[in-house]
Amino acid sequence: MKKLISYLRDYKKETFVAPLFKLLEAGFELIVPLIVAMIIDDGIAKGDKPLIFRMSLVLLSLALIGWTCAVVAQYFAAKAAVGATAKIKADLFGKIMSLSFSETDTLGNSTMITRMTSDCALFQNAVNLFLRLFLRAPIIVFGAMIMAFTISVKAALVFVGVIPLLSLVVFGIMQITVPLYRKVQEKLDGLLGITRENLTGARVLRAFCREDEEIKQFSETNKSLSAMQVFVGKIAGLTNPLTFLLINTAIIVLIYVGALEVNSGSLTQGEVIALYNYMSQILVELIKLASLIVTVTKGYASAKRITAVLEMPSEVTEEKNCGKEVTSGKVEFRNVSLTYKNAGAPSLSNISFVANPGEIIGVIGGTGSGKSSVINLIPGFYPASEGSVEIDGTDISDYDPDTLRKSIGVVPQYAKLFRGTVRENMLCGNEDATDDEIWQALKDAQAYDFIMQKDGKLDYMIENGGKNLSGGQKQRLTVARALVRRPKILILDDSTSALDYKTDSLLRKAVADLDYKPTVFIVSQRASSVLNSDKTVVLEDGECVGYGSPAELLKNCDVYREIYRCQFPEQV
């Protein structure tokens, strides 16, 4: 929480002015009952109309001044809360973007979205209400009690008796609801996770007719969340009736005591009305205070969740000013093993091979053999558990991550495109690329022809995730995005699975003929995709069971020979 409060340092003026003006508003509000008492006792009772008129103007002035103070306080409180939260969101987003793949896997996408949206909104509301009410509510409550003592000590004892009871109700309910609100937030995380999963996998669900089952699961989770919220709401809902009960009981006692005092001549009718108004002010402020406490409690729970992400130690190597850059693109794995977080067994074990500059390296194996795990180690997406991955003879942990990754072009296994024009998506690979360079990359990726047929060509608008493109078109554009960078190392992670054999062959030929000769890694389950590679790494159950040219592997690697036989039975 302290870490998030530090974001208010840039808003010191706002955090001072907002409570100050709320304090002024409270002071003016405490004067109002005395003016009303004067109007009743000295104006109405004595028929002094000029006094009534003057005091009415005073009341109007106090209302106008109080309204002005409230507006000023609200403005500065909102400015501080919104400004600080905006900076928190920016830092939180930056932190999330800096996390390694294993850290984002551990956190989960749904909880990160919740912390960026719901938790930040709750923290913002908590700061806003706190700045407006943390001084006003106590000042009104204790100020009203003090003002009551100035009117009548005997009647003021009613205030002394009811305020502790009211505080007991408010804080007692808060103690019960605080942990429940935390559980509600956790259940909300789960619901968002289901929602996100269903939205991203909508086509799969429809293909397998799983809509009813998923709707049932969502309904059950939603009912559980709703039941928890209703339960908490019922407990929190006791605040108003209990406080009203206590206050109205206190008002009855106050009127009774006041009536006795009026009969004895110790109090005037106006003073009784003033005491009644002070009691009403206490009721209103305690209800506000209860709302403030609930909101601050939610905000505090959310702040802890946000802080947990901001303070999470990152596995990603911090920026280094060593000045090292990738020059030739030589990649070497030295006895590399990889175990994912919370995994029961390693995904890779003792992987060793060398990819020389300009070579085309095939990575082949069955599903789950560790192909993607191998190539994810090269850009440092995951840190090796054992051994080292070296580029140009330097361990990747010694490179600045940005410098390292700017030299690597990655085409992920699942094509990811962003909403925007074709040009904007290509510029993700190289923001300084010219249109000529983009067109050349599109030609190499075999995407030139279909882009030329689109309205606007490079200005053709791609929907979020490339929903208005076919699978093959998306894959070719992701390849072009990597090629426009002209990387020293090019990684194609099963990036041609949606292409026909002819287009796949043309693309691989274009990659082999690139004039800047990057070190190329082609990950595939197709033997045809790695037939022309200089060397091929064969994986099975996370272990390297073969490494050499395709011809050599056909002779001495059973796993590769089996893969080849399944795809080219007539040639074996």
The strand pair at 535-540 and 360-365 is best described as: parallel
Work out the pLDDT band at 315, boundaries 50, 70, 90: low
Work out the pLDDT band at 320, boundaries 50, 70, 90: low
Establish if 315 belongs to a structural domain: no
In degrees, to the nearest 5, what angle opens at C-alpha 463 toward C-alphas 459 and 464?
A: 130
Q: How many independent structural domains does the chain possess?
A: 3
* pLDDT, tens only, 387-445: 999 998 888 888 888 888 888 998 887 888 888 999 999 998 888 889 999 999 999 99
446 and 567 in a single domain? The answer is no
Establish if 506 belongs to a structural domain: no
360 and 463 in a single domain? The answer is no
262 and 150 in a single domain? The answer is yes
Which single residue is written with the structure tokens 């709302």?
291
CB 188 within 8 A of CB 232: no
Work out the pLDDT band at 568, boundaries 50, 70, 90: confident
Establish if 381 belongs to a structural domain: yes
222 and 270 in a single domain? The answer is yes
pLDDT at 350 over 70: yes
pLDDT at 377 over 60: yes
What is the CATH classification number for the domain harbouring 482? 3.40.50.300
Last residue of a domain, one of 310, 342, 358: 310
Work out the pLDDT band at 461, boundaries 50, 70, 90: very high
* pLDDT, tens only, 179-213: 787 788 778 878 877 887 888 788 888 888 888 88
343 and 304 in a single domain? The answer is no
Mean pLDDT of all residues in 312-324: 60
CA 427, 433, 435, 441 torsion-angle sign: negative
Establish if 348 belongs to a structural domain: yes
What is the CATH classification number for the domain harbouring 166? 1.20.1560.10
The pLDDT of residue 490: 92
* pLDDT, tens only, 207-258: 888 888 888 989 998 999 899 889 988 887 787 788 778 878 888 888 888 8
The total number of residues shown for the chain amounts to 572
244 and 99 in a single domain? The answer is yes
38 and 129 in a single domain? The answer is yes
**What's the token pair of residue 69?**
């103070």
174 and 74 in a single domain? The answer is yes
423 and 546 in a single domain? The answer is no
The pLDDT of residue 72: 92
CB 467 within 8 A of CB 419: no
Mean pLDDT of all residues in 53-58: 87
b/e code 188-207 from CB counts within 10 Å (16+ = b): bbbbbbbeebbeeeeeebee
In the three-class reduction of DSSP (H, G, I as helix; E, B as strand; rest coil), residue 324 is classed as: coil
Distance, CA of 325 to CA of 275 (rounded, Å): 78
Mean pLDDT of all residues in 550-564: 86
249 and 146 in a single domain? The answer is yes
| Residue 358 Rama label (left phi>0; alpha psi -120 to 50; beta) | left
Distance, CA of 91 to CA of 98 (rounded, Å): 10
**What's the token pair of residue 47?**
């028929």
Distance, CA of 107 to CA of 309 (rounded, Å): 9
Last residue of a domain, one of 310, 340, 364: 310
pLDDT at 317 over 60: no
Distance, CA of 5 to CA of 300 (rounded, Å): 11
The pLDDT of residue 571: 60
pLDDT at 102 over 80: no
* pLDDT, tens only, 445-458: 998 889 998 888 88
301 and 358 in a single domain? The answer is no
477 and 530 in a single domain? The answer is no
Distance, CA of 18 to CA of 86 (rounded, Å): 19
Establish if 431 belongs to a structural domain: yes
Work out the pLDDT band at 572, boundaries 50, 70, 90: low
The pLDDT of residue 75: 92
Domain range enclosing 44: 2-310
Distance, CA of 9 to CA of 304 (rounded, Å): 19
CB 315 within 8 A of CB 103: yes
Distance, CA of 353 to CA of 543 (rounded, Å): 12
In degrees, to the nearest 5, what angle opens at C-alpha 70 toward C-alphas 69 and 71?
A: 90
